[in-house]
Chains A and B, each alone.
Chain A
Amino acid sequence: MSSHKEAPAISNDPVADNTDVYAFVSPDKPDTVTLIANFSPFEDPAGGPNFDEFGDDVLYEIHIDNNGDARPEISYQFRFRTVNTIPDTFLYNVGTIESITSKNWNRRQFATVTRLDVKSGSSQQLGQDLPCPPCNIGPLSTPDYADLAEQAIHALPGGRTVFTGQRAEGFYVDIGAIFDLGDLRPFQNLHIGSQMPAAPGVNGTKAANVQSIALRVPKSDLTANGQTPTDPTDPHATIGVYASASRQRSRVFETDGTVVSTGPFVQVSRLGNPLVNEVLIPIPQKDLFNAQVPVNDQQFAAHVAHPELAQLLPVLYPGVFPNLAALNTSGKPRADLLAILLTGIPAGIVPGFQNTTGTVQADLLRLNMAIPPTMRNPSNLGLIGMDPAGFPNGRRVFDDVTTIELRAIAGATYALVDKTFTPDKAAGAITQGLTSSNTDVSAGNTVHYLRTFPYLGTPHSGYLNPNDNTPAADLNATPVGGPGTGRGGSRHSQDTAMLVSGALLTAGALAGGAALLKRRTATAPVGAPVGADPSPDDATDAP
């Protein structure tokens, strides 16, 4: 999750395993968009002596489709070069790494960034041999980590900014429960196979790090017409984003320990929307999915139109999803999911909002760049929390994409395309139990985002792990919350309902669902975060 070890082949190749992709209008620089592609799932901060890094033999790319053909017009490419400056030591560093040019730092990595105009084939090298920061090892090796990371933020030509290096995992998920036969701890007492009482969710990735590529570019760098879009209805305003990792076709392992790679690069991992390959694609097709380009995604559309998980929910939670069960039985395709994940949401569905890229079905993260960042009360539920600056309009680092997609799959968004459908009362109340409310942008104080680029938090120190999520000492305000946002985040029940049905019908259903779950989880321990209804006073202002 959201694309961590999501397919058999890539699970054995972590440096190329794309875990998350984010695309959002930079809240502190709203004339730009920040694109983030993360790799190296479940990275253990204490994983020395060979700490995690990017692969020198991997081609990392972030692709932009800006004309709706589901093919990239722009690709930002990232290549890495690793050097050992002190060959005769087994150590990553031989003293305190006081700067990114420290002579005590042995194994270093450098990034080269290129912008490729795909159609013309022309490319522009934006930066060469840009130092990456070291990994956050511990108080003796990297005592002032935030300062080291700051030194690895590089200005590029054309108002662009890049960072490539270790960050704290920003994605939060109760992965331990959800892959235990679809258990959702806040109401696991309703699960058909569970004898366990309801319980708080557990953030399974709270102490993990990732290798992060973050690129901030002017909006005009991304649009087909080179303009900065300001009108959300402007067809040029929406871009489709995906990231990929590719390896050369041939690899030969020599007996001296070296590896020789030859041939053109072949895509081995890709990611647009979170959880698509992870949750919707059957195991035998997952490796194929990773090798395909989005323009070919029509071949996978049936798995989106008829998701297996939607079939399972009424079975796993008997009596909780009767309307979803009926929808499943009808055999109607899930046009809501097809729109959200494969084409974008057209105008006329959600008042004042669209992020469609046309009719070509492709797993792309679609961002309408003309929608400003939400600067106050952002909702971690994004669009279904009436916050149009969040997922599935792009994706911010704090968006609770698992909850959003679970609710959608459970039928909460089907009323968008079929006004006769009434979502189950529980569909709008599904939660992982990892947030205290929909304006909680710290996953219950377990994720520590930054206010500014590169937005994902200071990586966890190896010395402090495992099982200690204490943030690095250099985080001067913990948690600082998400990259601001805000006029959007809404009171979850009421506004989610407004989005889903455009009418108070669903509002009642969602409120009823929350109440139902609360009643049925009355045995939960005190403080168990059942549902996601914030109290009227718990709104969070942007930092």
Chain B
Amino acid sequence: MADQSSRRSFLRHASLGSTALGATILLPATLGNAASARARATHDAAANHVDAVRHEGPLMAYVKNARTGEIAVMVGEREVVRHDPQLAAQLSRIAAGATP
């Protein structure tokens, strides 16, 4: 029984050290958020709008059909579908490695 206790105690001590390490790793991300917030305050309305979208997380544009220009834009848990042949063609050129 004593052996079991000492083993668990050892494991527990090891885990306490790990917790501290985790907090340190998280710190830069926190600073990054603060910097981002300061930057947002200085942007104009359009930039603020872009930041608001960015705040939701990554944005995914899915060109489902380049010929019809159907593009699905996914952000957060939303999806917006637009038909924009010009943008679809531009993205297709990028995908092909050409200058947009």
Task: Determine if A262 and B57 form an interchain contact, defined as CB atoms under 8 angstroms apart.
Answer: yes
One of A84-92, A323-331, A458-466 at the interface: A84-92
Report yes or no: B77 in contact with A265, Cβ–Cβ below 8 A.
yes
Distance from A540 Cβ to chain B, minimum over Cβ atoms (Å): 42
| B20 vs chain A, min Cβ distance (A) | 9
Min CB distance B72 to A, Å, is: 8
Q: Does B65 contact A (CB under 8 A)?
A: no
Is B58 an interface residue when CB atoms closer than 8 A count as contact?
yes
B75 interface residue (CB < 8 Å to A): yes
A264 touches B78 (CB 8 A): yes
Cα A104 to Cα B17 with chains together (Å): 13
Stretch at the interface among A246-254, A279-287, A384-392, A402-410: A246-254
- Dominant SS among interface residues on chain A: loop
Cβ-defined partner of A262 (8 Å) among B11, B14, B74: B74
Taking the nearest CB of chain B, how far is it from the CB of A251, in angstroms?
Answer: 9
Asked whether A349 is an interface residue with its Cβ less than 8 Å from the other chain, the reply is no
Question: CB < 8 Å: which of A95, A106, A263 contacts B74?
Answer: A263
Closest Cβ of chain A to B35, distance in Å, is: 20
Alpha-carbon gap, A507 to B78, bound state (A): 58
Contact residues, B23-41 vs A (CB, 8 A): 25
| B19 interface hit (Cβ, 8 Å) | yes
Alpha-carbon gap, A85 to B23, bound state (A): 11
Smallest beta-carbon distance A285→chain B, Å: 23
Inter-subunit contact A86/B76 (CB<8 Å):
no
Chain A residues closer than 8 Å to B14, beta-carbon distance: 88-89, 94
Chain A residues closer than 8 Å to B25, beta-carbon distance: 87
The CA-CA distance from A264 to B77 in the complex, in Å, is: 4
Q: Does B8 contact A (CB under 8 A)?
A: yes
**Does B47 touch A at the CB level, under 8 Å?**
no
- Is the CB of B60 closer than 8 A to any CB of chain A? yes
Contact indicator B21/A88 (Cβ below 8 Å) = yes
Given A88-B22, A262-B57, A264-B79, verify A96-B8 contact (CB < 8 Å): yes
B8, B17, B77, B78: which has the most chain A beta carbons within 10 Å?
B77
Q: Is residue B59 within 8 Å, beta carbon to beta carbon, of the partner chain?
A: yes
Query: Among the listed A95, A250, A262, A263, which residue makes an inter-chain contact with B8, where contact means beta carbons less than 8 Å apart?
Result: A95
Please, how many angstroms separate the alpha-carbon atoms of A106 and B15 in the complex? 9
Kindly state the separation between the CA atoms of A96 and B8 in the bound complex, as whole angstroms: 8
Cα A313 to Cα B57 in complex, Å, equals 54
Per-residue A-contact encoding for B38-77, CB less than 8 Å = 1, 0 else: 0000000000000000000111101000000000101111
Q: How far is the CA of A208 from the CA of B76 in the complex (A)?
A: 36
Is B99 in the interface zone, CB < 8 Å from A?
A: no
A260 with B11: CB separation less than 8 A: no
Contact A94 B77 (CB under 8 A): no
User: In the complex, what distance in Å separates the CA atom of A103 from the CA atom of B12?
Assistant: 8
Q: Give Cα distance in the complex from A249 to B62, angstroms.
A: 10
Instruction: Evaluate contact between A250 and B19: CB separation under 8 angstroms.
Output: no
Does the CB pair B19–A87 fall under 8 Å? yes
User: Which residues on A sit within 8 Å (CB–CB) of B22?
Assistant: 84, 87-88
The smallest beta-carbon distance between B53 and chain A, in angstroms, is: 11
Q: Can you name the residue of chain A whose Cβ is closest to the Cβ of B58?
A: A260
Chain A residues contacting B21 (CB-CB under 8 Å) are 87-88
Q: List A70-116 residues whose CB lies under 8 Å from chain B.
A: 84-89, 91, 94-96, 103-104, 106
* B45: min CB distance to chain A, Å: 25
* Sampled A-B contacts (19; CB under 8 Å): A87-B18, A87-B22, A87-B25, A88-B14, A88-B15, A89-B18, A94-B11, A94-B14, A104-B8, A104-B15, A248-B77, A252-B60, A262-B57, A262-B74, A262-B76, A263-B60, A263-B79, A264-B74, A264-B77
Hey, which bits of chain B sit against chain A, CB under 8 A? 8, 11-12, 14-15, 17-19, 21-22, 25, 57-60, 62, 72, 74-79
Identify the A interface with B (CB < 8 A): 84-89, 91, 94-96, 103-104, 106, 248-250, 252, 260, 262-265
| Given A87-B22, A88-B22, A263-B72, 15 additional A-B pairs, CB 8 A | A87-B19, A87-B25, A88-B15, A88-B21, A104-B8, A106-B15, A249-B62, A250-B62, A260-B57, A262-B57, A262-B58, A262-B75, A263-B75, A264-B77, A264-B79
Q: Which 8 A-B pairs have the closest CB atoms?
A: A88-B18, A263-B74, A94-B11, A87-B22, A95-B8, A86-B15, A262-B74, A250-B60
